[in-house]
């Protein structure tokens, strides 16, 4: 594979075969899984994901669940062996390839899953929401926003949630790593509505691998012409196709 390449992975339903936020509650408590859903769709339906997950995590802690319960739920989250094969074989055969993770999950979820699968050193950087175990209550996970509520808003008009504009995050990463043109090709693997914004920052020579029949697919169909999407898009359903 000639030239310098950047592979950008969304995490939920892209790198792994699940939604990390929903999964932890699905494994541990149906009641809290329902509460998460209710909170997420309340009001305008545009609540920041890390805020509602943080609130529900507090409930989980108050119900008596332990840190180890949360970590174990993450360790059994579905991760396709073909996705592992795809990234490890590409990493082994292409020294000019850099992997970046750009996700609206959080540091603890992603770190735990990568560790379980021996992939801690895969990504050169993981751009996501901050999370930490409460020092005064070690079983309570606290999740924050990538862009804190007390900072100026990102101003994105493409529909990114207040806590993170993935387009801005990608641009910032590229600027800090030699600029967009230092990469011959950028490949973006995504599925969600919030993956549409960074696609608009990509060039004709780049490539999007969009998971079929999910929100990103719908936005590409409905909005790409009006938004001036330049990048080439290919569709996939299962991880073996990413390996191909």
Q: Which residues sit in the known binding site for Mg(2+)?
A: 10, 12, 191
Size of the site for Mg ion (CB under 5 A): 6
Least separation in angstroms between CB 92 and Mg ion? 26
Of 198, 156, 151, 190, the residue nearest 174 (C-alpha): 198
10 is catalytic: yes
Contacted entry of Zn ion, Mg ion, none for residue 206, CB cut-off 5 to 8 Å set by kind: none
Least separation in angstroms between CB 61 and Mg ion? 26
Residue 10 binds Mg ion, judged by CB under 5 A? yes
CA 49 – CA 122 distance, rounded (Å): 25
Retrieve residue 243's tokens. 């390996």
CA 30 – CA 25 distance, rounded (Å): 7
CA 65 – CA 72 distance, rounded (Å): 12
| Interacting residue ranges for Zn ion, rule: CB under 5 A | 156, 158, 160, 165, 167, 197
Least separation in angstroms between CB 168 and Zn ion? 6
Q: Which secondary structure element, helix H or strand E, spans residue 239, and what is its range? A: helix 239-243
Tell which positions 172-191 bind Mg ion, by CB under 5 A: 191
Query: Which of 136/157 has CB closer to Zn ion?
Result: 157
Query: Which of 35/156 has CB closer to Zn ion?
Result: 156
Burial annotation 122-149 (CB, 10 A radius, 16+ → b, else e): bbeebbbbebeeeeeeeebbbbbbbbee
Retrieve residue 88's tokens. 């490890």
Residue 21 binds Mg ion, judged by CB under 5 A? no
Query: Which of 45/78 has CB closer to Zn ion?
Result: 45
Binds Mg ion by CB under 5 A, chosen from 192, 198, 210, 242: 192
Least separation in angstroms between CB 172 and Zn ion? 12
CA dihedral 11, 12, 17, 22 (to 10 degrees): 150
Binding site for Mg ion (CB under 5 A): 10, 12-14, 191-192
Q: Mind telling me the catalytic residues?
A: 10, 12
């Amino acid at each position: 594979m000639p030239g310098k390449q950047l592979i950008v992975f969304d995490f939920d339903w892209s790198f792994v075969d699940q939604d990390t936020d929903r999964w932890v509650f699905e494994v541990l408590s149906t009641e809290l899984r329902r509460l998460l859903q209710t909170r997420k769709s309340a009001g305008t339906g545009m609540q920041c994901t890390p805020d509602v997950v943080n609130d529900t995590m507090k409930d989980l802690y108050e119900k008596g669940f332990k840190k180890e319960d949360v970590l174990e739920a993450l360790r059994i989250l579905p991760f396709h062996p073909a996705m592992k094969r795809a990234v490890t074989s590409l990493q082994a055969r292409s020294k000019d390839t850099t992997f970046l993770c750009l996700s609206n999950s959080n540091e603890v979820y992603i770190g735990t899953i990568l560790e379980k699968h021996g992939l801690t050193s895969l990504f050169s950087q993981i751009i996501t929401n901050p999370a930490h175990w409460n020092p005064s209550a070690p079983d309570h996970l606290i999740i924050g926003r990538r862009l804190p509520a007390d900072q100026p808003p990102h101003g994105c008009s493409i529909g990114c949630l207040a806590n993170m504009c993935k387009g801005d995050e990608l641009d910032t990463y590229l600027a800090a790593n030699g600029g967009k043109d230092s990469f011959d090709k950028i490949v973006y693997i995504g599925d969600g509505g919030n993956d549409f914004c960074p696609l608009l920052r990509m060039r004709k020579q780049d490539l999007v691998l969009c998971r079929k029949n999910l929100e990103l697919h719908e936005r590409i169909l409905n909005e790409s012409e009006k938004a001036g999407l330049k990048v080439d898009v290919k569709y996939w359903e299962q991880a073996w196709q990413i390996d191909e």
